[in-house]
Homo-oligomer: A and B are copies of this chain.
Amino acid sequence: MTTARRDTYTPETLLSVAVQVFNERGYDGTSMEHLSKAAGISKSSIYHHVSGKEELLRRAVSRALDGLFGILGEEHARVGRAVERLEYVTRRMVQVLISELPYVTLLLRVRGNTDTERWAMERRREFDHQVADLLKAAAADGDVRGDIEVRLATRLVFGMINSIAEWYRPGGRGMDDREVADAVTQLIFGGLRKED
């Protein structure tokens, strides 16, 4: 039975179970025992796939980071006026957050007790800086208001986007990633107030 189950396990399915457990119990509060129970396979079977829980964490946050950094390599993020690129990146951040919801949620909760956590936080900061640079460039072009300090504006924009991870549930209320991405982009760039 154990053998049969193990055969159906791939590093991918193990990762998806681990991310769920990390998000529920917190990374620090998760033991190999918890992972073994949740996955329904023995600890030694888990060690067959990975060196331990830190490797699972690294793979999980890497998936989120690859998704986010991938955006910056896309054509619309690289070519055009800064404000248009920023709007594109904002929309895509929402989409990646939703499509990789458990992985991005885990990334956002990482607090820095292990090397892997500190590395993940450093990479997150790098991503934030690149988006802040885009905002700075858009302000220099005169396309974005100059009366909000760039770092503060970046924090608030990320705050709004990242908060989606707190309540968005796939399939819930039939709201898809496009609707949420549209709303965020309209709100951040156009504001709530109707133009006369």
| A152 contacts B180, C-beta separation under 8 Å | yes
Most buried by B among A144, A148, A188, A191: A191
| A191 contacts B189, C-beta separation under 8 Å | yes
Given contacts A155-B167, A194-B143, A194-B144, contact A187 B188 (CB under 8 A): yes
| A190 contacts B189, C-beta separation under 8 Å | no
User: Is A115 at the interface (CB under 8 A from chain B)?
Assistant: no
User: Is A75 at the interface (CB under 8 A from chain B)?
Assistant: no
Tell me the number of copies of this protein: 2
Determine the distance from Cα of A190 to Cα of B186 in the docked complex, in whole angstroms. Answer: 11
| B191 contacts A149, C-beta separation under 8 Å | no
Complex interface: stretch among A9-17, A34-42, A156-164: A156-164
Q: Could you tell me the distance in whole angstroms from the C-beta of A184 to the nearest C-beta in chain B? A: 6
User: Is A192 at the interface (CB under 8 A from chain B)?
Assistant: yes
Q: Could you tell me the distance in whole angstroms from the C-beta of A160 to the nearest C-beta in chain B? A: 4
User: Is A183 at the interface (CB under 8 A from chain B)?
Assistant: yes
Q: Which residues of A are in contact with B by a Cβ distance under 8 Å?
A: 83, 86, 135, 138, 142-149, 152-153, 155-160, 162-164, 166-167, 175, 179-180, 182-184, 186-195
- What are 26 of the A-B contact pairs (CB < 8 Å)? A83-B193, A86-B192, A144-B192, A145-B192, A148-B183, A148-B187, A149-B179, A152-B175, A152-B179, A153-B183, A153-B192, A155-B167, A156-B163, A156-B183, A157-B160, A157-B187, A157-B192, A158-B163, A159-B159, A159-B160, A159-B164, A160-B160, A160-B163, A163-B163, A188-B191, A191-B191
